[in-house]
């Protein structure tokens, strides 16, 4: 999976100044972004009063430690502004300090369109991508997920402007029947909780970023998917995944207890959804491995 090739343009710079009051002096592409591009922007504060110059790394990507500025994200032309605003609203509803939320324009919006693309501006937070091989950092990730879920437990959102890819099934009737019987309370969720969306600064998680896949679902779905992401990623051994779940529950997360069948089936649901939504024509080795794991995990 490669990174999106979305160039910086003069039109984007003009919009950032007009809407956020930031006069752009430099814009440097940051690492990351499969469907969006993030640029580290240095500039001067304008009429909107946005503060530029917080030390750290770019919200939405890694690789900018020790820099200063704000981060400007250029999204996919396929992503509508209503959906972007909806996802930003979820992020802003958590009440969790580590969650990075976008800066608002002078009119109160969090996104504007330039050349057909959604453009948003984010504060600069310190950190690098989380190391999934570091047990202490993984434990922090589990406990932080529990706090994020608690923060969103009673948040009531309007209908998502577009259905999440995690709401679709098909291709495995047995799994579909199991999911139909898995009735759990739903709430807003991050939607893509993995190491690349967590920033760590001096051993502590400093930012939860990229809420583009936020949706309303059972927290057990997100917990199971995250447990696999932070556990033995390509293994059928659930030992590390179980450890992640235990830390989450110890922190008081909103998801219920998960037995082995629940954990496996919810992981498989996540794998299938990702392959169906993003697997393309079946020529990407990464998605081939997801398909293989889906079969191996069948209970």
Pairing status of strand 22-29 against strand 37-45: antiparallel
The whole-number pLDDT of residue 238 equals 95
Q: Residues 62-68: what's their mean pLDDT?
A: 49
Residues 142, 251 contacting (CB under 8 angstroms): yes
The whole-number pLDDT of residue 35 equals 81
Q: Is the pLDDT of residue 65 over 50?
A: no
Q: Is the pLDDT of residue 206 over 70?
A: yes
Q: Residues 177-189: what's their mean pLDDT?
A: 95
Percent of the chain with pLDDT over 70: 90
- Topology of domain 11-43+70-124 in CATH is Phosphorylase Kinase; domain 1 (3.30.200)
Q: Is the pLDDT of residue 124 over 90?
A: no
CATH superfamily assigned to domain 129-297 = Aminoglycoside phosphotransferase (APH), C-terminal lobe (3.90.1200.10)
Q: Is the pLDDT of residue 171 over 80?
A: yes
- Vertex 81: Cα angle to 107 and 76 (nearest 5): 130
Give the model confidence (pLDDT) of 72-86 as tens digits.
999 999 999 999 999
Beta-bridged to residue 56, according to DSSP, are: 67
The whole-number pLDDT of residue 81 equals 98
Give the model confidence (pLDDT) of 258-291 as tens digits.
999 999 999 999 999 999 998 877 778 999 999 9
The whole-number pLDDT of residue 1 equals 53
Q: Residues 18-24: what's their mean pLDDT?
A: 95
Q: Name the band, by pLDDT with cuts 50, 70 and 90, for residue 45.
A: low
Q: Is the pLDDT of residue 3 over 80?
A: no
Q: Is the pLDDT of residue 108 over 50?
A: yes
- Nearest Cα residue to 22 out of 33, 13, 31: 13
Q: Is the pLDDT of residue 55 over 90?
A: no
Tally of residues, the chain: 299
Task: Indicate the domain borders of the chain.
Answer: 11-43+70-124, 129-297
The whole-number pLDDT of residue 67 equals 53
Residues 218, 185 contacting (CB under 8 angstroms): yes
Residues 54, 123 contacting (CB under 8 angstroms): yes
Q: Is the pLDDT of residue 49 over 60?
A: no
Give the chain's mean pLDDT.
90
Q: Is the pLDDT of residue 125 over 60?
A: yes
Q: Residues 110-126: what's their mean pLDDT?
A: 95
d(CA 221, CA 122): 28
């Amino acid at each position: 999976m490669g990174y999106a090739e979305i160039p910086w343009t003069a039109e984007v710079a003009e919009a950032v100044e007009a809407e956020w009051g930031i006069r752009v002096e430099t814009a440097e592409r940051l690492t990351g972004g499969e469907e969006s591009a993030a640029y580290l922007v240095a500039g001067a504060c304008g009429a909107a009063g946005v503060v530029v110059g917080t030390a750290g790394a770019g919200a939405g990507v890694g690789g900018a430690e020790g820099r200063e500025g704000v981060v400007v994200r250029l999204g996919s032309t396929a992503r509508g502004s209503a959906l972007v605003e909806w996802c930003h609203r979820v992020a802003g509803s958590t009440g969790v300090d580590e969650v990075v939320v976008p800066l608002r324009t002078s009119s109160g919006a969090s996104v504007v369109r330039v050349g057909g693309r959604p453009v948003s501006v984010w504060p600069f937070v310190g950190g690098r991508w989380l190391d999934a091989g570091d047990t202490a950092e993984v434990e922090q990730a589990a406990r932080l997920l529990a706090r994020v879920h608690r923060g969103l437990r009673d948040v009531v959102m309007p209908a998502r402007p577009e259905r999440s890819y995690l709401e679709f099934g098909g291709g495995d009737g047995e799994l579909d029947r199991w999911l139909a019987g898995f009735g759990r309370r739903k709430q807003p969720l991050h939607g893509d909780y993995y190491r690349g969306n967590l920033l760590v600064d001096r051993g502590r998680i400093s930012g939860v970023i990229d809420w583009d896949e936020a949706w309303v679902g059972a927290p057990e779905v997100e917990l199971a998917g995250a447990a696999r992401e932070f556990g033995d990623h390509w293994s059928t051994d659930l030992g590390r995944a179980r450890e992640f779940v235990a830390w989450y529950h110890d922190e008081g997360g909103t998801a219920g207890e998960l037995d082995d069948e629940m954990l496996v089936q919810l992981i498989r649901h996540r794998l299938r959804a990702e392959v169906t939504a993003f697997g393309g024509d079946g020529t990407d080795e990464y998605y081939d491995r997801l398909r293989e794991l889906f079969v191996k995990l069948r209970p």
